[in-house]
Amino acid sequence: MAFTIQQYEALKNAIVAGVHSVTYGDKTVSYRSISEMKEALNMMEAEVFPERIPRRRAYASFDSGYFSNCNR
């Protein structure tokens, strides 16, 4: 589904205002809760602003194994 920046901003403003329905264009969407609205906002943000998604990084680690064979 293709979201627009205007839809993203309208939903963000509705969350800030504390209302549960958003109108953009000729369509109105009603949400059950603020948490449902935040979930939709995160989904929109991932699509509209893909550069904001944090990337996972893997780092190599090394162990000499010196202490793993010793009885303490």
* Confidence band, pLDDT 50/70/90 cuts, at residue 58: confident
* Confidence band, pLDDT 50/70/90 cuts, at residue 61: confident
- Output the average pLDDT for the chain: 84
Percentage of residues of the chain with pLDDT beyond 70: 86
Rounded to two decimals, the pTM is: 0.65
pLDDT of residue 14: 94
CB < 8 Å & 24+ apart, contacts of 6-9: 7/44, 8/41, 8/44, 8/45, 8/48
pLDDT tens sequence across 23-36: 888 889 999 999 99
